[in-house]
Amino acid sequence: MMNSKLLIAPSILSANFARLGEEINSAMKAGADWVHFDVMDNHYVPNLTIGPMVCKSLRDDGIKDFIDVHLMIQPVNDLAKSFAEAGADLISFHPEAVENIHETIELIKSFGCKVGIAINPDTPLTVLEGIIQDIDLILLMSVYPGFGGQTFIESTIEKIHAAKKLIESQSHHIFLEVDGGINHETIGKVAAAGANVFVAGSAIFGSADYAETIQDFRQKIS
């Protein structure tokens, strides 16, 4: 599934929630690939966003696109189950937020979802030791989680290079996703470093023309 393609995942956190379904359909028709959910609980991170009801509502409304859920919450397991039941395709979580990483990975897989590990700017890649063989995606945060519209942390580029080397040592495909400060100025160097999934919120939903923005992104990462 889309293993060799460079994927653009608009973060709905920056969309107009008064007409969310329409916003998502517009972004997908404009050339986006995944729908990215930023789920925050005002506990693990200092912001409160959306729950599984939003995911279910979008599925019920006919949205069939790939839904990529990033859980910035603690605890994880119960809401991971709820998002899986609501129609998520991939669920990422922060290892610091769970008691047993292996148990949560297997739980998410048991619901038929792909599973990702989200890594904060200050978290070393060594957190992947012993689990990288069991996951489908590495999500590198290029800002501190909690709010949209932040500035890209430049040291993330080196981390992307290192994560790509780890992925290349594995026998199965692992997506390398980057989230935070992705825009016209940063997406090219993030792609050059080895990322293949790009989460962009305000850069897409804050633009006047989604198709033009996504087309420009494609040119910069090709």
Q: Is 122 known to be catalytic?
A: no
Task: Give the separation between CA 36 and CA 15, rounded to whole angstroms.
Answer: 11
Q: For residue 123, count other CB atoms closer than 10 A to its CB.
A: 17
Q: For residue 38, count other CB atoms closer than 10 A to its CB.
A: 23
Q: Is 38 known to be catalytic?
A: yes
Alpha-helical runs (H) found in 173-209: 187-193, 202-205
Residue 176 φ/ψ, nearest 5 degrees: -120, 105
Angle between helix 20-29 and helix 210-221 axes, rounded to 10 deg? 40
Task: Give the separation between CA 11 and CA 198, rounded to whole angstroms.
Answer: 10
Q: Which of 33, 38, 41, 136 is catalytic?
A: 38
Q: Which of 33, 65, 179, 209 is catalytic?
A: 179
Task: Give the separation between CA 187 and CA 97, rounded to whole angstroms.
Answer: 28
Buried-exposed string 178-194: b where 16+ CB fall within 10 A, e elsewhere:
bbbbbbeebbebbbebb
Structure tokens at 159: 């981390």
Residues noted as catalytic: 38, 179
